[in-house]
Amino acid sequence: MLTSTLLATVPAPLAWTPTVGIIMVIANIIAIAFGKFTIKYPSAAPAAPAPNFFGGFGLPAILATTAFGHILGAGIILGLHNIGRI
């Protein structure tokens, strides 16, 4: 009885759509812009393969900002899904 009640409260899974992808891309752009202005040593070693392509970021800064962008994007996507916007 309790198991069926718990299963009834589980929301439907979120399928990938272009809207979800656009939200994730925008969240990563915001995170990279935030990192550009707040990271003390953005060009720390090891260097990225093409530093000019990555805005002068070193590998640690690229990994940090994109990880933050994915956390931010996942939160936005799950929040919007939870309130029924996507």
Domain count across the chain: 1
pLDDT for 1: 57
Q: Is the residue at 31 inside a domain?
A: no
Q: Which residue has the tokens 């550009």?
A: 36
Give the Cα separation of 51 and 39 in Å (integer): 16
Give the Cα separation of 23 and 30 in Å (integer): 11
What's the one-letter identity of residue 13?
A: P
Q: Is the residue at 43 inside a domain?
A: yes
**Below-50 pLDDT ranges, the chain:** none
Q: Is the residue at 49 inside a domain?
A: yes
Is the pTM here over 0.85, yes or no?
no
Count other C-beta atoms under 10 Å from residue 72's C-beta. Answer: 18
pLDDT for 8: 65
Domain hosting residue 44, numbered range:
39-86
